[in-house]
Amino acid sequence: MSPATRSRPVPDATLIESSQQLSTWATLRRGLELSPELRKGIGVTVMLALISTLGRVVVPFVVQQTTDRGIMAASGPDIGLVLRLVLLAGCGVVLTAVTSYFVNVRLFRASESGLATLRIKAFRHIHDLSMLTQNTERRGSLVSRVTSDVDTISMFVQFGGLMLIVSLGQLTLATVLMVIYSPLLAAVVWLCFVPLFFLIRRFQGIVGRAFTQVRERVGELLGAVSESVVGAATIRAYGVEDRTATRIDTAIENHRRASVSAQIKAVAAFTSGQLVSGLTTAVIVVIGTVLAVHGQMTLGELLAFLFLVQLFTQPVQTATEILNEMQNAVAGWRRVIAVIDTPADVADPADQGQSLPRGPITVVFEGVGFAYPGGDPVLHEIDLRIAPRSRIAIVGATGSGKTTLAKLLTRLMDPTVGSVQIDGVDLRAVRFSSLRSRVVLVPQEGFLFDTTLLDNIRFGKPVATDDDVRLALTELGLDDWLAGLPQGLRTDVGQRGESLSAGERQLVALARAYLADPDLLVLDEATSAVDPATEVRVQRALDSLSRGRTSITIAHRLSTAEAADEVIVVDKGRIVERGPHRDLEGAGGVYAALHASWVAQQQGA
Amino acid sequence: MASAPSPTLRRGLRVVGHGIREQPRWFALAVLGSSVYGVMTVATATVIGKVVREVVGPAITARHVSADQLWYAGLLLSAVTLVNIAGIVVRRIAAGITFNNLAALYRRRVTRQYLRLPLSWHHRHPSGQLLSNANADVEATWQVFQPLPMALGVIVMLTVATVQMFLVDPVLAAIGLLVFPMLFVANLAFQRRMSPLVTTSQQLRAEVSEVAHESFEAALIVKSMGREDHEGARFTHVTDRLKNANIEVGRTRGLFDPAIEGIPTLGTLAVLAVGTARVASGQLTAAEVVQIAYLFSLLSFPVRALGWVLAELPRTVVGWGRVDAVLQAKGVMQYGDRALVHDGASRVQADQASYSYDVSREDGTVTKTSPAVRSVNLDVLAGGTTALVGPTGSGKSTLASLVLRLIDPDSGLVRLDGVNLRDVVQGGVPEVGSLVAQQTFLFDDTVRGNVTLGAPASDDEVWHALRISQADGFVAALPQGLDTRVGERGASLSGGQRQRIALARAVIRNPQLLVLDDATSAVDPSVEQAILAGLRELGSSEVGNSADHSPGTTVLVVAYRMATIALADDVVYMENGRVVDHAPHQQLLERCTGYARLVTAYAREAAERAAVLADEDHLDATGAGA
């Protein structure tokens, strides 16, 4: 991205739509749509879950029945009845255990499959998003959308979702049983809990905001810690260890404070449930006693009712915690859905597109203009025809629009107006599979993967053998360099290729593109850190072995321009001159000035 | 079931011991709160039994209840609840503080270690891994302190409950004695089965994150080479493995969860059955049976806290392993007690210095690369500008790092003004020498902060440094000038702008030794010329120099461009890690073929092309004439 656009705010069009607030319900619906596995067999799972709840409820019911009619029976303890009931409850326990097992297994299988699908969809879509959209987000934030965000969903789906259903079932059942025993006491219980429901809603807001704060502090913490890692060399070179330590300590302390404060708020919210439960028991004992004294209940019924209160309060507490967790899960789900639902504005036409035959390629720009979203135009009315088999150099000052041109050419971006065509077909109508095999860009920072040299070079052509790769390096004149590496092609390049020097990384990136063998190769400052002799050698190899290939080179070093069939000079977003070096050199224009300064540098003025 | 504690349990408990020693007060408070909670939970059942026996029962029999009695019952029950809640609140808050304090403490220790350990250690460790050590791993280690106090409270609870049951009825208590150990054994078995599964799943989760991170960082390459499907397949592969591991976790949990939940319930039922028999035979009252049954039902939920702690332990052990590896890392750079003289430009010498990079392989072993610098001898005289020239990968950057002691040579030594760098006091080298690296690093700070790095400097000094590095123009145009924040790694600036701010950072220190490692690669040639001209004047500049210091800077510059080389008094030519020759440019050009080939590459290329073109012209001309 050009420096001018980086500092400018990017409008919504290219942003991942995290601001788009789907309602909770819509989020869940869309989430289920994206992970069909979650719904598969859900009926059976819920049924099993309800059976297991039934088994769970049978126990307190039996306890209560045993107490009421067995132990405290007017005619003395009825051992037979108690044994029968206990046996029944035992069956309930076993039934619960068995069905719970199946529920758990089914739930894990469905949710893990569904969420794996979601992860993969999101991952794949992030790669489909246009480069501009990708650049609006920090890489770390994109990663969290396919990792921790999905994890919060899985926690909810596996435990929360089902527990919520079970809890609601239990709540209903407990209420029904309570009403049967004593409608009055049942009403009292509900009355005691009503203020709690309101309180919880208030608390949820407070706790939610506190945890949002914590998440922000985590971001700052990670930023500060990463400086001590990524900036290790700079920190040592300038002896600023203490200053960095102070910065990190501040971030750590801020995060600690925010976490403790959030936790205190959460404790206040959740213990309120336990408080209400305890106090409700006290109220029930008091009112129950009065009722019993007036002959409206037996002691057994009152004690039984106390068990029912337990049966009632437990799911209430569980449900409130789950509802809170659900807010987290829905927020995570929303973030993942936002990625998947962000349109890929530079999209693959796929089956509607054309596949073009390989071979010499003609490039045409027709009235092309480009502006970064929300920015001023950086390219104006570019009309250009690049003949097959030609070597083109694009030159111009920093910020003149060269890189933008390269990105339009390789369809990393689409022009705002006009069209870019290869072999007479608009790029937007060319299938990516065809386009990417014909046109390859080598950027200045050629990212290397943490694997061997071999795998990095054949990234674009995995079927290539060791010999193919070795041949490519030989053709590029890099065999000496390869010979100097102790493990040759098996050399590990380290994370981001950091075991190699910056220049070597560029050579690998170049070899990678060369091996992919496109019809059009676009080099954007691809050899800026390579020494002159190697650069000349590589460039010559690219030219002489081009096999009908067109190459377009953007470089500060004008040696490539001298060698090119044609030089295209870009200034302030327009093509101001074009022609062979020989013609432009003496024309007294922009190129002549650039070249003069280059020559002066070469001679060490 | 085997009774020997598993290694995970043992090691996990040892880590817990560490944590307790670090935060004894908060932890003690949490356990105290939890004990209150444990005792009070049992007391709830007792009090209900008491109220039923003393108030409710008699009242029903008497068909009368007084207001006093009702108040007594209500307040007693409320009081128990309130004390219980107080215990819970203290437990949760103190546990939270213990955990957060421990996490903060270890984050500080880990990051201190990052700052202390040598650069060679950093080279061996992927930055993603170090980030997760300081964040996720620290958290995983101490997370166990959240459920731990509750679990200890539960043990108190079980003890009190057992005593209580014995007081009521030894026979029913025996059921408890049967059930509680069963619970413990079940939890232990669960933890044993789970521990390897959870470890695997945790590793795979990290792998998923690594693949995603690398793939998104490579997004431009993936896109421009059309490898999206290939990346998708790579991600799918590791995601599927995570999925299968998690399903396995679910299966184990599915097996144990209902069992652990069912055991106390079966206990309750046993109490009822046996209790009824005992009531029938007149050995117990109905209320006592109800009390114990109620007790069992109260216990069934909290005892699961034991399971939570055991389930946390594998994470604790794995997390601690990673955190401890950082804390125990050896090879901290040793410093001596010698000061470097501050009297003008420094002389740089290297004596048989060699250096190889460490590379950590997939399997965790560390190997050395072939030497990046081999037995280098060097003597750069004070006050001049020396260009460091050599083919790609010849060891220039490594040598640049050696002379400022970012790394120590594996063998041989480097001297600054005659002092072995290993003997210099801590902070001594950065005081006299500055490096502008090939890859610019900016802090998430203001422009001013990035230039001064906290050292006192006036606005004029900052602007002067920015002017020399040709950054004054764009900085002045920034919305808040010097106080504009540059964002994470300077994200709001272009590459060339970042390089120029990094340059100003070196310039403002007025160093005796300035090392530029291809530090202007992202800058336009004309701007670069201006910078180099400014640097040449740096030596004679007065800013920042007091009168008793003779001014002067030794400049060591990694260069390809002739213009840069032409500014140098001397050139050091490297090839394949060795210094091949060291002389002024003109001499090298004449006697060193490698050097001549390198620096004249463009010119020869141009000349050859001119010759070819001339031939073609000639042919064209003759062709036309024929």
Query: What is the C-alpha separation between B391 and B593, in angstroms, rounded?
Result: 13
A contact test, residue of B102, B119, B135, B225 with most A CBs within 10 A: B225
Query: What is the C-alpha separation between A584 and A580, in angstroms, rounded?
Result: 6
Binary contact (B126, A142; C-beta < 8 A): no
Q: CA gyration radius for chain A?
A: 35
Compute φ and ψ for A365, nearest 5 degrees: -105, 130
pLDDT above 50: residue A5: no
Nearest chain B residue (CA) to A482? B393
A contact test, residue of B69, B276, B480 with most A CBs within 10 A: B276
Domain topology for A363-603: Rossmann fold (3.40.50)
What is the share, in percent, of chain A residues with pLDDT greater than 70?
95
Query: What is the C-alpha separation between A308 and A581, in angstroms, rounded?
Result: 93
Q: Token pair for residue B118?
A: 């040598």
Per-residue confidence (pLDDT) for residue B551, from 0 to 100: 53
Collapsing DSSP to helix, strand or coil, A388 comes out as coil
pLDDT above 90: residue B463: yes
Based on the domain organization, do B300 and B424 belong to the same domain? Answer: no
How confident is residue B5, by pLDDT bands cut at 50, 70 and 90?
low
CB count within 10 Å of CB B358 equals 15
Residue A591 contacts residue A395 (beta carbons within 8 Å) = yes
Residue closest to A534 by CA, chosen among B58, B391, B394 = B391
Based on the domain organization, do B309 and B433 belong to the same domain? Answer: no
Residues 6+ apart with CB under 8 A from B139: B103, B319
Tell me which chain B residues have a C-beta less than 8 angstroms from the C-beta of A238: 430, 434, 453, 505, 509
Asked whether residue B100 is assigned to any structural domain, the reply reads yes
Per-residue confidence (pLDDT) for residue B539, from 0 to 100: 55
Residue closest to B268 by CA, chosen among B286, B292, B287 = B292
pLDDT above 80: residue B626: no
pLDDT above 80: residue A76: no
Per-residue confidence (pLDDT) for residue A9, from 0 to 100: 39
How confident is residue A605, by pLDDT bands cut at 50, 70 and 90?
very low
Binary contact (B93, A263; C-beta < 8 A): yes
pLDDT above 80: residue A6: no
Name the range with the highest mean pLDDT among A562-571, B91-100, B184-193, B273-282: B91-100
Residue closest to B95 by CA, chosen among B159, B36, B20, B188 = B20
Q: Token pair for residue B155?
A: 């043990």
- Residue B616 burial by Cβ neighbours in a 10 Å radius (0-12, 13-18, 19+): exposed
Based on the domain organization, do B432 and B317 belong to the same domain? Answer: no
Q: Helix H segments across B445-578?
A: 447-452, 459-468, 472-477, 495-507, 525-538, 562-567
Tell me which chain A residues have a C-beta less than 8 angstroms from the C-beta of B393: 481, 484, 500-501, 503-504
- Residue A165 burial by Cβ neighbours in a 10 Å radius (0-12, 13-18, 19+): middle
Instruction: CATH number of the domain at B370, please.
Output: 3.40.50.300
How confident is residue B622, by pLDDT bands cut at 50, 70 and 90?
low
pLDDT above 90: residue A15: no
Asked whether residue B339 is assigned to any structural domain, the reply reads no
Based on the domain organization, do B569 and B623 belong to the same domain? Answer: no
The mean pLDDT of A1-24, rounded to a whole number, is 51
The mean pLDDT of B239-245, rounded to a whole number, is 95
Residues 6+ apart with CB under 8 A from B609: A562, A563
State the DSSP H helix or E strand holding residue A567, giving kind and residue range, or none if neither.
strand A566-571
Cα B370 to chain centroid distance, Å, stands at 29
Sheet with strand A550-554: strands edge to edge:
A439-442, A520-524, A550-554, A391-395, A566-571, A574-579
Residues 6+ apart with CB under 8 A from A326: A24, A156, A160, A164
**Can you name the residues that pair with B571 across neighbouring β-strands?**
B387, B583
Structural domain boundaries in chain A: 22-181+324-345, 183-296, 363-603
The mean pLDDT of A9-20, rounded to a whole number, is 51
Question: Strands B358-360 and B366-368: what pairing?
Answer: antiparallel
Q: Token pair for residue A269?
A: 């919210």
Mean pLDDT of chain A: 85
Binary contact (A495, B73; C-beta < 8 A): no
Name the range with the highest mean pLDDT among A343-347, A374-378, A578-582: A578-582
The mean pLDDT of A531-556, rounded to a whole number, is 81
Based on the domain organization, do B426 and B551 belong to the same domain? Answer: yes
Based on the domain organization, do B516 and B613 belong to the same domain? Answer: no
**Can you name the residues that pair with B558 across neighbouring β-strands?**
B388, B517
- Residue B562 burial by Cβ neighbours in a 10 Å radius (0-12, 13-18, 19+): buried
Binary contact (B359, A86; C-beta < 8 A): no
Task: Choose the weakest-confidence range: A78-92, B95-109, B153-167, B555-569.
Answer: B555-569
A contact test, residue of B117, B204, B290 with most A CBs within 10 A: B290
Nearest CB partner across the interface for A100, out of B258, B489, B524: B258
DSSP A10: P
Nearest CB partner across the interface for B253, out of A104, A229, A496: A104
Binary contact (B247, A102; C-beta < 8 A): no
Return the higher-pLDDT residue of A16 and A372.
A372
Based on the domain organization, do B115 and B135 belong to the same domain? Answer: yes
Query: What is the C-alpha separation between A179 and B461, in angstroms, rounded?
Result: 82
Asked whether residue B335 is assigned to any structural domain, the reply reads no
- The C-alpha of B6 sits at a distance from chain A's nearest C-alpha, in angstroms, of 26
What is the share, in percent, of chain B residues with pLDDT greater than 70?
95
DSSP notation for B340-388:
PP-SSSPPEEEEEEEE--EEE-TTS-EEEPSPSEEEEEEEEPTTSEEEE
Query: What is the C-alpha separation between B223 and B213, in angstroms, rounded?
Result: 15
The mean pLDDT of B142-165, rounded to a whole number, is 90
Per-residue confidence (pLDDT) for residue A252, from 0 to 100: 96
**Can you name the residues that pair with B338 across neighbouring β-strands?**
B424
Residue closest to B304 by CA, chosen among B269, B253, B270 = B253
Binary contact (B286, A397; C-beta < 8 A): no
pLDDT above 50: residue B237: yes
Nearest chain B residue (CA) to A88? B269
Nearest CB partner across the interface for B81, out of A224, A275, A501: A275
Sheet with strand A363-371: strands edge to edge:
A377-386, A363-371, A417-422, A425-426
Nearest chain A residue (CA) to B90? A267
Nearest CB partner across the interface for B277, out of A79, A268, A275: A79
How confident is residue A16, by pLDDT bands cut at 50, 70 and 90?
low
Query: What is the C-alpha separation between B374 and B388, in angstroms, rounded?
Result: 15
Based on the domain organization, do B621 and B512 belong to the same domain? Answer: no
Residue B486 contacts residue A7 (beta carbons within 8 Å) = no
Collapsing DSSP to helix, strand or coil, B27 comes out as helix
Query: What is the C-alpha separation between B16 and A141, in angstroms, rounded?
Result: 33
Question: Strands B373-380 and B348-355: what pairing?
Answer: antiparallel
> B367-389 b/e with 16+ CB inside 10 Å = b?
eebebbbbbbebebebbbbbbbb
How confident is residue A17, by pLDDT bands cut at 50, 70 and 90?
low
A contact test, residue of B81, B129, B213, B224 with most A CBs within 10 A: B224
Return the higher-pLDDT residue of B123 and B245.
B245
The mean pLDDT of A416-440, rounded to a whole number, is 93
pLDDT above 90: residue A327: no
Task: Choose the weakest-confidence range: A438-442, A544-548, B390-394, B461-465.
Answer: A544-548
Residue A601 contacts residue B525 (beta carbons within 8 Å) = yes
pLDDT above 70: residue B547: no
State the DSSP H helix or E strand holding residue A522, giving kind and residue range, or none if neither.
strand A520-524
Tell me which chain A residues have a C-beta less than 8 angstroms from the C-beta of B230: 462
User: Residue B619 sits in which domain range?
Assistant: 602-626
Residue A20 contacts residue A26 (beta carbons within 8 Å) = no
Q: How far is CA B614 from CA A284, B607, B608, in A?
A: 109, 10, 10
**Can you name the residues that pair with A199 across neighbouring β-strands?**
none
Task: Choose the weakest-confidence range: A520-529, B307-316, B503-512.
Answer: B307-316
Instruction: CATH number of the domain at B270, please.
Output: 1.20.1560.10
Per-residue confidence (pLDDT) for residue A598, from 0 to 100: 80
Nearest CB partner across the interface for A97, out of B135, B262, B563: B262
Q: How long, in residues, is chain B?
A: 626
CB count within 10 Å of CB A451 equals 15
Per-residue confidence (pLDDT) for residue B344, from 0 to 100: 82
Based on the domain organization, do B626 and B492 belong to the same domain? Answer: no
The mean pLDDT of B572-588, rounded to a whole number, is 92
The mean pLDDT of B424-449, rounded to a whole number, is 89
Task: Choose the weakest-confidence range: A435-444, B164-173, B221-230, B279-288.
Answer: B279-288
State the DSSP H helix or E strand holding residue A576, giving kind and residue range, or none if neither.
strand A574-579
Residue closest to A255 by CA, chosen among A207, A216, A206, A229 = A216
Query: What is the C-alpha separation between A279 and B274, in angstroms, rounded?
Result: 31
What is the share, in percent, of chain B residues with pLDDT greater than 90?
36
Tell me which chain A residues have a C-beta less than 8 angstroms from the C-beta of B130: 229
Q: CA gyration radius for chain B?
A: 37
Name the range with the highest mean pLDDT among A109-118, A222-231, A232-241, B525-534: A109-118
B contact test, residue of A141, A230, A311, A431 with most B CBs within 10 A: A230
Per-residue confidence (pLDDT) for residue B264, from 0 to 100: 82
How confident is residue A349, by pLDDT bands cut at 50, 70 and 90?
confident
Per-residue confidence (pLDDT) for residue B357, from 0 to 100: 83
pLDDT above 70: residue B620: no
Residue B156 contacts residue B278 (beta carbons within 8 Å) = no
Residue B435 contacts residue B499 (beta carbons within 8 Å) = no
| Structural domain total, chain B | 3
Residue closest to A62 by CA, chosen among A308, A402, A373 = A308
pLDDT above 60: residue B80: yes
Cα B39 to chain centroid distance, Å, stands at 41
Name the range with the highest mean pLDDT among A64-78, A85-99, A313-327, A539-553: A85-99
pLDDT tens per residue across span B181-207: 888 888 888 888 888 888 888 788 888
Binary contact (B74, A282; C-beta < 8 A): yes
Q: How long, in residues, is chain A?
A: 605
Per-residue confidence (pLDDT) for residue A428, from 0 to 100: 93
Domain topology for A22-181+324-345: ABC transporter transmembrane region fold (1.20.1560)
Give the distance between the most distant pair of CA atoms in chain B: 140
Query: What is the C-alpha separation between B201 and B206, in angstroms, rounded?
Result: 9
Return the higher-pLDDT residue of B21 and B298.
B21
pLDDT above 60: residue A1: no
pLDDT above 50: residue B391: yes
**Can you name the residues that pair with B386 across neighbouring β-strands?**
B556, B570
pLDDT above 80: residue B584: yes
pLDDT above 90: residue A488: no
Per-residue confidence (pLDDT) for residue B260, from 0 to 100: 81
How confident is residue A67, by pLDDT bands cut at 50, 70 and 90?
confident
